[in-house]
Amino acid sequence: MVESSKDKNITMHTYSEVEQVKGYVGNFDVRIRKKARSVEMSKCTGCQVCVEACPQVVPSEWDLGLGTRKAIYTPFVQAVPNVPVIDRSVCRIFTKSKEKCGAACVRACAAKAVNLKQEDEIINEKFGAIVVATGYSLHPWQKAYGEYGGGRYKDVITALHFERMLQASGPTSGHVVRPSDGKEPKNVVFIQCVGSRDESKGVPYCSGICCMYTAKQAILLKEHCQDAQAYVFYIDLRATKKNYEQFVLRAQRDYGVIYTRGRVSKIYQKSDKLVVRGADTLAGVPVEVEADLVVLATAVVPQPDAVAVARMLAIPHDQFALFTEAHPKLRPVESVTRGIFLAGTCQSPMDIPESVAMASAAAAKVMGILSHSELMLEPTIAEVNAERCSGCLTCTKVCPFDAITTVAYDGRTVSNVIASVCQGCGTCAATCPASAIILKGFTNEEIYAQIEAPFKRMEKEVTAGAPA
Amino acid sequence: MLQLNAETVHTCRDTIKRLSGEDVSRCFQCGKCTAGCPVAIDMDVTPNQVMRLAQINGRERVLASSTIWLCLSCETCSTRCPADIDIAKVMDTLRKISVAEGYPSPEPAITGFHRLFLASVEKYGRLNELELSIKHNLAIMKPTKDIRLAVGLFSKGKINPFGGKVKDRERVKKIFAESQRFVKVYPESIEREAE
Ligand SMILES: Cc1cc2nc3c(=O)[nH]c(=O)nc-3n(C[C@H](O)[C@H](O)[C@H](O)COP(=O)(O)OP(=O)(O)OC[C@H]3O[C@@H](n4cnc5c(N)ncnc54)[C@H](O)[C@@H]3O)c2cc1C
Ligand code: SF4
Ligand code: SF4
Ligand code: SF4
């Protein structure tokens, strides 16, 4: 992040959101809302004095509630840019709180960078191509898994909580502890496939990353807490990439992690322990662990706003709201909308190496387009016969790719297909009441000719008296 | 219900490792040992389940199983295991532990046979086949079981009716005394005896 932020060819818009995308490949008109940070980026030195001065403490989203932050804050230590932002939804001034802070941040800042009057800025810019890399979120397990306590037990956490605890600059300074009493845990149970591969409570697909990060966390647990014992409940172990199988074997053989094949059925509190009930389907026995901490590997699911983002970009998504690639084998990093590319977990669950590979491929594809002055296209696209077009513009409403605009023709407004956007789906041609649109290579005449050809031949053969 | 906890979960694995050098935690449950085992069909716990139970300290179940006594030590499993575990050796080790801890054998005929075999070797320095067969068949209350076979074997001179003895029986005694050392390297069994 730091490196990219310093690259002269990269402009980073942080704390910003793309609100609108119009146009097409080579000509995208993008509206970006740069939200009011309430701190002037150009003046701020990143000294964080304002953060110290702010008396308003709230739970930190970044640390998943394991730690706190101020109303003026940088989300985490390595955040880019190192410029705080005021969360106006909790700031005492913006919420008109009865507890006064006297604009402590404004007064603390020697650089006079805090600007409470700052407003959202709208940036309109043209882009040649777009790479979508909006990532993933995690399955809201609390609602679905009452048998695991549904969030009632403090010491049943998600793997992301565990990840935060492992971080040296995190809320527990890198110590693995029980959230309930801050004590170091001894028996730690990891449960895989929570929400994944669960057709009744979650998603049917495999999240693809949890087998590996659970093995990593089980190993790191042992490195952080020498007396701890890790147990992993799994359905299958999916360790398919380079060195992955050996990594899982290392967890089992060198770190004594107990891998138990079977899904946990119930977790309940017994004094300060959590009784975890499962089965070892390989040994054929029910098993039980009195655990100090339980870590859930929750399913990778799309961002809550994935459908809205897809709609804005006019790219398709599947039934789970994962963005759809143009071809699963041959065009895995492209969306069907020309000029829009996909990278990472917005397309499918995947780990970091795979996300990076996909992003690199998408970048290369973008350069492939932008390095040429002309675009080479499939010839099978729609074409409007302006003469025939009545100008009803029905086609503009049905085109799933927004490929149809209007032009003036002979004093009338008629529709017009943008060749570089059209995907040749034929929806417009089928819809046009005036039959003014054709799909090149698939006109009615051409199709009829194809159907008639064999009959004509048969006819000829019959009249010539050839055997049927 | 098998309770898993940090204190004991590796006990069985560690004991087996100490006694045999074999690490059962290497087993990833492919099931090839069971698939090739000629007697798996008659076992109450299959060989791969033995390995699994040993991994999670399901020792009671393993040590009381008929499996460890049914095992023929044919070593088919050991030859084929992809994790390179000598399963037959693990079975042998489990038999030792089972005896040392005084588990009643679910296969008394088999354990009885082993005892008679060893007693014969200890006494003569070699096996007295006739004596072993008679004693064993009496013990399982089928005294006439092998009579037909015996007639044939006698007539072909395959069995010496008087048995035989090795000369240096002192050395045989030493070997047997040495084998008792197992009890010493196995503290759990000593603790049990003390109780
Ligand atoms: C507990 C846990 C441990 C893991 N450990 C490992 C590991 O050890 N090794 C490994 O390889 N992988 C690991 N992973 C997987 C790893 O997190 C993902 O593979 C990786 O983060 C995917 O990267 P991404 O860029 O696709 O998505 P993300 O990391 O989710 O990034 C997407 C970014 O886009 C931003 N964004 C979303 N929507 C918008 C929008 N509309 N406008 C602007 N920005 C937006 C988000 O804020 C986010 O910063 C782990 C995952 C979990 C849950
Ligand atoms: S990666 Fe492993 S833990 Fe995650 S869903 Fe797939 S099988 Fe389950
Ligand atoms: S063959 Fe080896 S790895 Fe496979 S189940 Fe048997 S002991 Fe385990
Ligand atoms: S050595 Fe024992 S367990 Fe292994 S295949 Fe032979 S009989 Fe079965």
Express each pLDDT in A184-233 by its tens digit.
Answer: 999 999 999 999 999 999 999 999 999 999 999 999 999 999 999 999 99
The confidence score (pLDDT) of residue B180 equals: 75
Instruction: Compute the average pLDDT of residues A380-402.
Output: 93
Same domain, B24 and B76: yes
What tokens appear for A144 in the block?
């679905």
Longest CA–CA span in chain B (Å) reads: 63
* CB contacts, 8 Å: B10 with chain A: 256
Chain center to CA of B144: 27
Distance A135 CA to ligand 1 centre (A): 5
Q: Check pLDDT > 70 for residue A428.
A: yes
Instruction: Compute the average pLDDT of residues A336-342.
Output: 94
Same domain, B97 and B34: yes
**A258 and chain B in contact, CB less than 8 A:** yes
Contact A77, A176 (CB under 8 A): no
Q: Cβ neighbours of residue A316 under 8 Å, at least 6 residues apart?
A: A310, A323, A324, A335, A336, A400
Last residue of a domain, one of B69, B103, B137: B103
> Which amino acid, one-letter code, is at B195?
E
Distance A191 CA to ligand 2 centre (A): 10
Distance B37 CA to ligand 3 centre (A): 11
The confidence score (pLDDT) of residue B146 equals: 86
What pLDDT digit, counting tens, does each position of A52-97 carry?
Answer: 999 999 999 999 999 999 999 999 988 999 999 999 999 999 999 9
The confidence score (pLDDT) of residue B157 equals: 84
CATH architecture of A137-301: 3-Layer(bba) Sandwich (3.50)
Distance A346 CA to ligand 1 centre (A): 9
Same domain, B99 and B123: no
The confidence score (pLDDT) of residue B188 equals: 55
Say yes or no: CB of residue A217 within 6 Å of ligand 2.
no
**B144 and chain A in contact, CB less than 8 A:** no
Residue with CA at minimum distance from ligand 4 atom 6: B74
> Which residue of B26, B28, B52 is in closest CB contact with A280?
B52
The confidence score (pLDDT) of residue A181 equals: 96
The confidence score (pLDDT) of residue A297 equals: 98
Say yes or no: CB of residue B50 within 6 Å of ligand 3.
no
Question: Has residue B190 been placed in a domain?
Answer: no
SS3 content of chain B, % helix, strand, coil (to 5): 60, 0, 40
The confidence score (pLDDT) of residue A72 equals: 98
> Which residue of A231, A253, A282 is in closest CB contact with B29?
A282
**B53 and chain A in contact, CB less than 8 A:** yes
Topology adopted by domain A377-468: Alpha-Beta Plaits (3.30.70)
What pLDDT digit, counting tens, does each position of A7-24 carry?
Answer: 999 999 999 999 999 989
User: Domain limits at B51?
Assistant: 11-103
Ligand nearest to the CA of A216: 1
Among the atoms of ligand 2, which is closest to the Cα of residue A196?
5
Distance A253 CA to ligand 2 centre (A): 21
Q: Check pLDDT > 70 for residue B193.
A: no
Instruction: Compute the average pLDDT of residues A417-437.
Output: 92
Q: Confirm whether pTM is higher than 0.90.
A: no
* CB contacts, 8 Å: A186 with chain B: 6
Q: Check pLDDT > 80 for residue B189.
A: no
Which among B174, B160, B57 has a CA at the least distance from the CA of B125? B174
Phi, psi (5° rounding) for residue A267?
-130, 130
The confidence score (pLDDT) of residue B195 equals: 44
* CB contacts, 8 Å: B2 with chain A: 280, 283, 285-288
Same domain, B122 and B160: yes
Q: Cβ neighbours of residue A186 under 8 Å, at least 6 residues apart?
A: A225, A227, A228, A229, A292, B6
Q: Cβ neighbours of residue A415 under 8 Å, at least 6 residues apart?
A: A384, A389, A391, A393, A395, A396, A404, A405, A406, A407, A437
Cis peptide before A81 (omega within 30 of 0): yes
Domain map of chain A by residue range?
2-129, 137-301, 377-468
Instruction: Kindly report the nearest CA distance between residue A229 and chain B, in angstroms.
Output: 5
> Is residue A23 classed exposed, middle or buried when 0-12, 13-18 and 19+ CB atoms within 10 A define those classes?
middle
The confidence score (pLDDT) of residue B52 equals: 97
Ligand nearest to the CA of B40: 4
Distance CA B77, CA B35 (A): 9
The confidence score (pLDDT) of residue B187 equals: 56
Distance CA B90, CA A172 (A): 44
The confidence score (pLDDT) of residue B100 equals: 85
Last residue of a domain, one of B62, B84, B103: B103
Residue with CA at minimum distance from ligand 2 atom 4: A210
Question: Has residue B66 been placed in a domain?
Answer: yes
Buried residues in A178-202 as b, exposed as e (16+ CB within 10 A): bbeeeeebbbbbbbbbbbbbbeeeb
Q: Cβ neighbours of residue A294 under 8 Å, at least 6 residues apart?
A: A148, A153, A155, A156, A157, A188, A189, A190, A191, A267, A274, A276
> Which amino acid, one-letter code, is at B92?
D
Same domain, B19 and B90: yes
H or E element that contains A103:
none
Contact A30, A125 (CB under 8 A): yes
Among the atoms of ligand 4, which is closest to the Cα of residue B70?
7
**B6 and chain A in contact, CB less than 8 A:** yes
3-class SS at A386?
coil
**Which residue from B minimizes the CA distance to A252?**
B25
**B17 and chain A in contact, CB less than 8 A:** no
Same domain, B98 and B116: no
Question: Has residue B5 been placed in a domain?
Answer: no
Last residue of a domain, one of B83, B103, B123: B103
Same domain, B41 and B124: no
Is B10 in Cβ contact with A187 (below 8 Å)? no
The confidence score (pLDDT) of residue B185 equals: 59
**Which residue from A minimizes the CA distance to B10?**
A256
Cα end-to-end span (Å), chain B: 26
The confidence score (pLDDT) of residue A418 equals: 92
Longest CA–CA span in chain A (Å) reads: 104
Q: Cβ neighbours of residue A188 under 8 Å, at least 6 residues apart?
A: A176, A218, A221, A228, A229, A230, A231, A291, A292, A293, A294, A295
Q: Check pLDDT > 50 for residue B190.
A: no
Same domain, B82 and B140: no
CA dihedral angle for residue A361, residue A367, residue A370, residue A371, rounded to 10 degrees: -150
Which residue of B3, B4, B30 to mutate against A (max A Cβ within 10 Å)? B4
The confidence score (pLDDT) of residue B183 equals: 58
Same domain, B39 and B82: yes
**Which residue from A minimizes the CA distance to B83?**
A249
Which among A256, A259, A289, A66 has a CA at the least distance from the CA of A177? A66
What tokens appear for B119 in the block?
């007693």
Contact A91, A85 (CB under 8 A): no
Phi, psi (5° rounding) for residue A420?
-80, -15
Is A258 in Cβ contact with B56 (below 8 Å)? yes
pLDDT classification of B191: cutoffs 50, 70, 90 = very low
What pLDDT digit, counting tens, does each position of A360-374 carry?
Answer: 999 999 999 999 988
Question: Has residue B194 been placed in a domain?
Answer: no
Strands A121-127 and A27-34: antiparallel
Say yes or no: CB of residue A207 within 6 Å of ligand 2.
yes
Same domain, B21 and B84: yes
What pLDDT digit, counting tens, does each position of A101-147 carry?
Answer: 999 999 999 999 999 999 999 999 999 999 999 999 999 999 999 99
Size of interface A-B (CB pairs under 8 A): 62
Question: Has residue B2 been placed in a domain?
Answer: no
* CB contacts, 8 Å: A258 with chain B: 4, 9, 55-56
**B61 and chain A in contact, CB less than 8 A:** yes
Q: Check pLDDT > 70 for residue A447.
A: yes
Same domain, B143 and B163: yes
What pLDDT digit, counting tens, does each position of B66-121 carry?
Answer: 999 999 999 999 999 999 999 999 999 999 899 888 899 999 999 999 999 999 99
User: Going along A325-388, which residue ranges are E strands?
Assistant: 340-342, 382-384
Is B5 in Cβ contact with A280 (below 8 Å)? no
Question: Has residue B59 been placed in a domain?
Answer: yes
Give the total number of structural domains in chain B. 2
Say yes or no: CB of residue A17 within 6 Å of ligand 1.
yes
The confidence score (pLDDT) of residue B194 equals: 42
Same domain, B116 and B166: yes
**A247 and chain B in contact, CB less than 8 A:** no
Is B2 in Cβ contact with A288 (below 8 Å)? yes
Instruction: List the Cα angle A95/A99/A105 in 5-degree steps.
Output: 75
Which among A71, A292, A304, A255 has a CA at the least distance from the CA of A162? A292
Contact B139, B193 (CB under 8 A): no
**A397 and chain B in contact, CB less than 8 A:** no
Q: What is the ipTM of this complex?
A: 0.75
Question: Has residue B70 been placed in a domain?
Answer: yes
Q: Cβ neighbours of residue B107 under 8 Å, at least 6 residues apart?
A: B66, B69, B70
What pLDDT digit, counting tens, does each position of B140-155 carry?
Answer: 999 888 888 888 888 8
Chain center to CA of A382: 33
Q: Enumerate residues 18 to 47 of chain B having a beta carbon within 8 A of any beta carbon in chain A.
A: 23, 25-26, 28-29
